[in-house]
Structure 1
Amino acid sequence: MAKLGTAGLVFVTVFAGLLWCVHGQLEARTLFSQWKHEHNRRYKTDDEERARFATFQDNLLKIEKLNAEYSGTEFATNQFADMSGDEFRSKILMRPLPPPQHPRERYLRADGEVNDLPEAYNWVDHGAVTPIKDQGSAGSCWAFSTIENLEGQWFLAKHPLTNLSVEQVVDCDDNTDPKTGNADCGVFGGWPYLAFQYIKRVGGIEKEEDYPYCSGLGGEKGTCFPCPAPAYNASMCGPAVSYCNETESCGFRLDKSKFIPGLQVTDWAAIDTNETTIAVQLMKIGPLSVALNAVLLQFYHRGVFEPHFCDPKSLDHAVLLTGWGVEKTIFGEKKPYWIIKNSWGKKWGMDGYFYIKRGVGQCGINTQVATAILQKT
């Protein structure tokens, strides 16, 4: 048998590499076509589609690496698969900020020893959680977290489970906290503890059906372009949106006559960072607003999220804590986790939910836990 020379070996190696690249390109192109169909994604120009396909390919490699690195968590393509990491952070997440410290008297703590917590508990099973929502292409997670806490509190006060207006909070809340430099900034982010204070000040909240969500619909039918809230603080929030429509803004849309009768926020409380205390208060109070560093959640699909490092002092996303549980690994180990309701739609994660490791302050999940306090009716 004839032997290949050096030149022949180089040719075969290069040719095999080219075949692999072509095969990879074809496979990626097929996946991209399927993904576009699933997510109803259309692009305005061929150049935009080429750029998005290149990003999609990069993300396929990123997902492959994440799955190799984190065996207990599964990552996959979703609606964010044509977004770069930078774009995801700028469009979906909030500006990262450290967790604010509140006055000591604000914090609820567990009384005495805690020995009787169940291994698992979830307020979803008790009817206190509304269906998954989708914030779309706006940094409005903080308003969803606020409203979903309020929905749970209203239900637990023995009222029907009701979808409340997220858009009212996005459009109208201009609260600030000069001591921490935090502010509620509409589509650019905010804090549930400040939003609770807004709802207290304004006197109530409308139903979702009366003041529907529209600011994050990304140009689809029903999208609105509200102007900033009346006292929007540009020094804390950054420049306001460049285009807005006054008739789609708080001044035109808010109708206090449609506030839900009897639903009034009288105060708010923070929860101590001890995660046993958080579990006690979660079971006692109901679903809680929480915040975390969510940079690595872009392609989360299922399993317990426990990255090697995500900065707990850099919070960029607010969500709803609904419960907890324990996963048993194939080695018989127990892995405790929190159950979190996200606001990225049902196609993301586990039908809109995710699990995150419990007991270690993962990604700062325990640093900004809060709830509204309602007037007793």
Structure 2
Amino acid sequence: MYAIATGKAPTPLAVQEVIDCAYPNWGCSGGDTCVALDWMTKAVYPLRDESDFCTIITNKTRGIKVFVKGLPEDRLLELLQSGPVVAAVDAKTWQNYQGGIIQYHCESHINHAVQIVGYDLTGPVPYYIVRNSWGTDFGHSGYLYIKVGDNLCGIAEEVSTVSVYL
């Protein structure tokens, strides 16, 4: 969202920092994307090149957060027109994903966070383009496709985004 707002590449963010520090969140043990994103809008975490405990430094001017629980998918498509969003999804069946568009056998028992970076409505099966965190060996170079409609994998159950302003 920063790159979209400024036209410049942002400073890389540490995913591990969010998993470890976003409080009150439980990271890989049941974290909540809305809580994590709320923490990110308030936290600045400078590099000190030394080991230490997680220390929160607040900055209230980093963005305007938008957290939505259980939105209709047409609203999700509208949000994606402004940039990527974070979604909490059910990824239990993804371990064997080889490619194609997920269209069936995906429930909505939320257990994983992903980034929805876009969509394609032009083909016979419209789909979301989802960036996963399991590395570039997963799926299509780290991405997978989920059919638009039917709230597959709980894709619209919990959506988070931040609008950046300068």
For the superposition of Structure 1 and Structure 2, which TM-score range results when normalised by the shorter chain?
0.7 to 0.9
8 Å CA contact 2:126–2:147 kept in 1: the answer is yes
Find the partner of 2:114 among 319, 327, 331.
319
Find the partner of 1:167 among 3, 6, 16.
16
8 Å CA contact 1:271–1:277 kept in 2: the answer is no
1:351 CA displacement: 0.3
Matches within 5 A, 1:289-328: 289-307=86-104, 309-312=105-108, 314-326=109-121, 328=123
1:320 match: secondary structure = strand
**Following the alignment from structure 1 to structure 2, what is the Cα–Cα distance between the partners of residues 205 and 269?**
22
8 Å CA contact 2:41–2:60 kept in 1: the answer is no
The structure 1 segments of at least 4 consecutive aligned residues displaced by more than 6 Å after TM superposition are none
**Which residue is equivalent to 1:270?**
68
CA offsets 1:293-351 (integer angstroms, 9 cap, x no match): 111100111100122x3322x111110001111475xxxxx111111000000011000
In the alignment, structure 1 residue 345 sits paired with structure 2 residue 140? no
Opposite residue 193 of structure 1, the aligned amino acid is: C
2:162 match: secondary structure = strand
**Which residue is equivalent to 2:150?**
360
8 Å CA contact 2:20–2:27 kept in 1: the answer is yes
**Following the alignment from structure 1 to structure 2, what is the Cα–Cα distance between the partners of residues 266 and 273?**
19
8 Å CA contact 2:42–2:62 kept in 1: the answer is no
8 Å CA contact 1:170–1:186 kept in 2: the answer is yes
In the alignment, structure 1 residue 369 sits paired with structure 2 residue 159? yes
1:373 CA displacement: 3.5
Distance 1:263 1:250, change over 3 A: farther
**Following the alignment from structure 1 to structure 2, what is the Cα–Cα distance between the partners of residues 324 and 198?**
27
Normalising to structure 2: TM-score of the pair? 0.83
Task: Name which one, 1 or 2, has greater alpha-carbon Rg.
Answer: 1
More strand by share: 2
1:322 match: secondary structure = strand
8 Å CA contact 1:154–1:263 kept in 2: the answer is no
2:76 match: secondary structure = helix
2:6 match: secondary structure = coil
In the alignment, structure 1 residue 189 sits paired with structure 2 residue 30? yes
The unaligned stretches of length 5 or more in structure 2 are: none
1:267 match: secondary structure = strand
2:135 match: secondary structure = coil
8 Å CA contact 1:327–1:337 kept in 2: the answer is no
1:169 CA displacement: 1.5
**Following the alignment from structure 1 to structure 2, what is the Cα–Cα distance between the partners of residues 267 and 365?**
19
Distance 1:250 1:166, change over 3 A: farther
CA offsets 1:168-204 (integer angstroms, 9 cap, x no match): 21222222xxxxxxxx1134231121012223443x3
The percent identity for this pair of structures is 26
1:367 CA displacement: 1.0
Distance 1:302 1:249, change over 3 A: farther
Q: CA RMSD in A?
A: 2.8
The unaligned stretches of length 5 or more in structure 1 are: 1-152, 176-183, 213-246, 329-333
